[in-house]
Amino acid sequence: MAVDLQALYPKLIHLMLDTVFVVDKDNQIVFVSDACKALLGYHPSELTGTAITNYMHPDDLAITQASIVRVMSGKPHIDFRNRYIRKDGSVVHILWAAFWSEEVGARIGVARDITALWQAESELHFLAHHDPLTELANRSLFSERLESALRGARRHQNSLALLFIDINDFKGINDVHGHVAGDRVLRLIAQRLKSCVRETDTVARMGGDEFTVLLTDIQSQDAVAAKVEQILEIMAEPLGADFGAIKMPSCSIGVACYPADGEDADTLLSHADGEMYRVKKQRSIVR
């Protein structure tokens, strides 16, 4: 018995888990498969005859228009990613494979929901660049941002400051109260440090009880001194009652400024580290 493939093809298209779109040269949707209900939340009849650009995330319109131009010039695009707004207002991340068909006079695209993949990639990227305990930038990300800040400072002839912070006597908290309690204190320290800086600045955990703060576009030495004083003040605030008998540890801060104390990352880090140890030694003498 012969199989009527021409009659079978439309049914096969509607069985696909990915969504098939056919869009004319004016960006009007002329056909969309049933999978669009799962992808965008719309029934095919709601999309047919409307502009596909109506559903694109506004922040992705420019890159999507560039992809459309590429496809309509005869160059298939099989690995394009963008975002659409679903009927319920949520955002879906989509991977596209599209080409222009001269025979049909339209571009044909197959869309796959990769929201879960995007979320997994984002989580992996975050874990690769952040400290898992405090969620601050880790040493690797801090180094990248410091190098980027130095390039910007050289280009615009700006200043920046690097603070190297060590938590005094932190080992005692772990020894007396345990590492779980110590981790809680470290998370609180991270929150307090972040509350002292702008979004353009960076707070990082370099490891153990050592932190760094990168302050960009510094206007004066007085501004740096004021920031150090602010950090010292907030770090001196007592812990809440839920911390029990644990006392908030103090900290020692070393400062290095570009370009006065160094013009490259290694020199600045070394200077700030040295200043931190000088402050810590002075503290022990006073005690």
List the catalytic residues.
209
User: What letter represents residue 99's amino acid?
Assistant: F
Cα-to-chain-centroid distance, residue 226: 29
Alpha-carbon span 265 to 149, nearest angstrom = 10
Extract the runs of DSSP E, i.e. beta strands, from the chain. Answer: 19-24, 29-32, 77-85, 91-101, 106-113, 159-167, 202-207, 210-218, 251-258
Residue 87's closest CA among 28, 31, 46?
46
Distance, CA of 280 to CA of 165 (rounded, Å): 10
Chain centre distance of CA 7: 48
Give the number of other Cβ atoms within 10 Å of residue 209's Cβ: 21
Q: Are 30 and 56 in contact (CB under 8 A)?
A: no
Which run of H or E residues covers position 42?
Answer: none
Q: In Å, how far from its chain's centre is CA 78?
A: 26
CA angle 141, 281, 225 (to 5 degrees): 60
